Structure 1
Amino acid sequence: MAATGWKNALYGLLIFTGLGALVLVPGLVSCALPAEGPPLTERLDIGYGATIQPPAGSRLDLADSRPGSGNVLLRADGVEIRLTAQSFPGDPAPYTEHVRTKLDRDDGLRLLGRPEPMRTTSGVTGERGSLVSWDSDEGYGCYAVLTADSVGVVALVTPVTNCAVLPASVSAALASIEIEVAS
């Protein structure tokens, strides 16, 4: 009977060690990998036919980005630029309203003032606006919603107090967004 107890204790220790390895090894691998890629120079595929010319010296966040899949996070000039692209059915007005509602409901952000119209150098249109959190009137960031055909790109730039103080390189990058319209 005593041998069975030792045997069970050994099996328990092996299981505990295996579970610990399942937790520890991915963390060690994550720490060993770089958080950001090299500086970007080429146009970057956001996804769904949308691209952006990243600001000079910007870096791609390797943990939170999947270029070409609709989710990209860039770091440039002390700010983060989160870009999401997706397709939507029908009219862009309900899509844009949905984005504003989602920022409010899911992220606790409200629009400061009225959104202003936006047009990229390639002719993609949309709006942008400054955001504050519901619990404070301090500036949180700037959002932009751009649509063409049935594809929408949402850009969220943080931390900035409002859209008027975006670094020039970030404003130029947002203005460079192109959406290839399906024929």
Structure 2
Amino acid sequence: MSWRNAKAVLAVLVGTGAVIAVPATVNALISDDVTLMDGRPVDVGVGVGVTLSPPAGSRLSLSDSVPAISTVLLRHEGATLEVTAVSGVDRPADFLAHARRKLRREGMFTVRLRPVVTRAGVLGERGDLVPVPGGVGVSGCYAGFVADERGIVVKISNVSECRAVPPLVWVAVESITVAPEEEW
């Protein structure tokens, strides 16, 4: 190979490396989370009409929060709070049973279920999350709510059970509201 060809090959390799390395470096320098300082309500998705008020200092994950599928992921005091909301729920009991089956498919049992209500009066259930034996699920806390044909599923991980949820994280769960249909 001639010296000129070697320089051309080297230039192509350097250019290819730059195309790969520059975006990866920029991505690594940009934070994936945003700190929420004011505690203002956060919409759970677009056009669903579900909000919650995270505690000041919570971190909103930009890459894991997907408004198009109505999921918000927050981190606070070591706990991870994943909230998903859907519309078109016509049978609350069926929606909650479906949510528990979905968690089971993800490797988690819901145990010690009991009724729960938000400060706005949204009714639901909550229970501990326990990994399926030999599964890949995590321990944590689950809550499911249904109001005005909207269903909300809350999964809190990085805690051992519902009693271990940091108080301010549970306050955020209790802040869930469902707007009347004409407002969204």
Task: Give the TM bin, normalised by the shorter chain.
Answer: 0.7 to 0.9
Q: Residue in 1 aligned with 2:108?
A: 109
Are residues 135 and 32 of structure 1, via their aligned partners in 2, closer, same or farther at CA, if it must alter by over 3 Å?
same
**Could you list the runs of 5+ residues in structure 2 that have no partner in the other structure?**
none
Q: Residue in 2 aligned with 1:62?
A: 62
What CA distance in whole angstroms lies between the structure 2 residues aligned with 1:93 and 1:17? 59
Question: More deviation in 69-78 or 123-132?
Answer: 69-78
- Percent of aligned pairs with the same amino acid: 35
- Give how far 1:24 is off: 2.8
| Corresponding residue to 1:120 among 118, 121, 132 | 118
Whether 1:32 aligns to 2:29 is yes
- Give how far 1:93 is off: 1.3
Q: Residue 139 of structure 2: SS of its match in structure 1?
A: strand
Q: Residue 21 of structure 2: SS of its match in structure 1?
A: helix
- Give how far 1:125 is off: 0.9
Q: Residue 55 of structure 1: SS of its match in structure 2?
A: coil
Q: Residue 146 of structure 1: SS of its match in structure 2?
A: strand
Cα deviation per residue 1:94-132 (whole Å; 9 max; x = unaligned)? 111111111111x1111223x111110101111111011
Task: Report 1:85-100 matches (<5 A).
Answer: 85-100=85-100
Task: Report 1:7-46 matches (<5 A).
Answer: 10=8, 14=12, 20-41=17-38, 42-46=40-44
Q: Residue in 1 aligned with 2:154?
A: 155
What CA distance in whole angstroms lies between the structure 1 residues aligned with 2:148 and 2:58? 29
Equivalent AA in structure 2 for residue 28 of structure 1: T
Whether 1:179 aligns to 2:178 is yes
What CA distance in whole angstroms lies between the structure 1 residues aligned with 2:36 and 2:130? 30
Aligned length: 177
What CA distance in whole angstroms lies between the structure 2 residues aligned with 1:68 and 1:121? 27
Contact 1:130/1:163 (CA < 8 Å) preserved in 2? yes
Equivalent AA in structure 2 for residue 43 of structure 1: P
Contact 1:44/1:54 (CA < 8 Å) preserved in 2? yes
Contact 1:145/1:154 (CA < 8 Å) preserved in 2? yes
What CA distance in whole angstroms lies between the structure 2 residues aligned with 1:68 and 1:176? 22
Are residues 11 and 37 of structure 1, via their aligned partners in 2, closer, same or farther at CA, if it must alter by over 3 Å?
same
- Give how far 1:134 is off: 1.0
TM-score normalised per structure 1: 0.83
Query: How large is the Cα RMSD of the aligned pairs?
Result: 2.7
